[in-house]
Amino acid sequence: MDRNTVVRVIIPAIIVLFALISVLILTGFASGNPDGFEWSLFEWAGITEPEGGFGGIFAFLGEGPLVDVVTGGIGIVLILIIAYLFFRFTSRRTE
Amino acid sequence: MHVPDGVLPFWVYILFLIISLPVLGFAVRNVNRRFDDRLTPYMGVLAAVIFAAQFVNFPVPPASGHLVGTTLLAVMLGPWAAMVIMALVLFVQALYGDGGLIAFGLNFFNMGILGAIFGWGIALVLFKGLTRIQDEKISVLIATAIAAFVTTLGTAFILGLELLTIPGLSFEFVYIITGIHGFIALGEAILTFAILLYFVKAKPKLIAFLKDSDTGKALGVKMSATPIVTIEEGT
């Protein structure tokens, strides 16, 4: 990745996404994980939510808007790095 | 639309892992054949955009929904790259507890494979029809929004059928989950339109459907100049 791409694409994208997701989480518009859509229907159908399961790697931090902002920000950077590395190694090299 | 672990019978999760993982391998191979490393920063950014966008719920009383984004990705990068991006997003979400790790195959089948294939196919057919009467930028926006709506609704119906494997669930559940997803699909269409509008204005070269597109060239797809889709191997 050349320096221009980092400066023009990656850094602004991270900043904008982080700012956006922070505002949305703190103003209460972001979803809880997992979102409640299926559960509300299951409850309607008389099926109880299964116990426990994998609560996520950040479950130890507890819940709250601030935790969501921090973990959301980490997630954005994490997926960007994973996706970049993944595509970097699975794409053809420029001739 | 994320199904967690422990809801469906275990054999359903395994079945969908067996179906989905080879498709993911095929998608990775296609990305390797057709994309070069100049496009990788954009793919990384798009993965982050979709991951962030899926955080945001819009209310559909008594429930809520969020953007899936597969149709958007398929129109921008083609179905194979869309599948790979969705696989990465779903995997990281599963690490966060949103959707399950064992349910990854099922969630990837619904949101990755079905979303990419149907979204791409429907958008392509509509786009070709609309370009006869409209500017290609307007055509891609309308075609993608409609495709996103139809695909979300169709995927919800399939999800409803999958959930029928839960003992005691009646077919009425399928109607209800599909019906509520009608409103969620509307949100998907609006958000897809808005995000794609940004890319149409800011970076149209990233949209595979538009002529002179970098990703379109990578895919070997000629869209608006001629209604014929050609795949040029080794380009």
What pLDDT, in 10s, does the model give residues B84-96? 999 999 999 888 8
Rounded-to-integer distance, Cα A24 and Cα A27, Å? 5
| Average pLDDT value for chain A | 74
pLDDT of B216: 61
Q: What is the rounded radius of gyration, in angstroms, for the C-alpha atoms of chain A?
A: 18
Average pLDDT for B45-67: 80
Rounded-to-integer distance, Cα B63 and Cα B65, Å? 7
Residue of A10, A53, A58 with shortest CB distance to B45? A10
pLDDT of A34: 43
**Which residues are CB-neighbours of A70 under 8 A, at least 6 positions away?**
A61
Percent residues over pLDDT 70 in chain B: 88
pLDDT of A50: 62
* Among A residues 61-90, those touching chain B with beta carbons less than 8 Å apart: 71-72, 75-84, 86-88, 90
Could you give phi then psi for residue B165, rounded to 5 degrees?
-70, -10
Name the minimum distance, in Å, from the CA of B228 to any CA of chain A: 26
pLDDT (tens digit per residue) in B99-157: 888 999 999 999 999 999 999 999 999 999 998 998 888 999 999 999 999 999 999 99
Collapse the DSSP code of B59 into the 3-class scheme (helix H, G, I; strand E, B; otherwise coil) and give the result: strand
pLDDT of B157: 93
Output the six-digit token pair for B222. 């000629």
Collapse the DSSP code of A92 into the 3-class scheme (helix H, G, I; strand E, B; otherwise coil) and give the result: strand
User: Is residue B226 scored above 60 in pLDDT?
Assistant: no
Torsion angle of C-alpha atoms B39, B42, B43, B44, degrees rounded to 10: 120
User: Is residue A28 scored above 90 in pLDDT?
Assistant: no
pLDDT of B82: 93
* Among B residues 120-159, those touching chain A with beta carbons less than 8 Å apart: none
Flag if A36 and B47 touch (Cβ within 8 Å). no
Closest-CA residue to B196 (of B155, B148, B156) = B148
pLDDT (tens digit per residue) in B195-218: 999 888 887 888 888 866 666 665
* Tokens 């130890």, residue located: A60
Which pLDDT band, with edges at 50, 70 and 90, does B225 fall under? very low
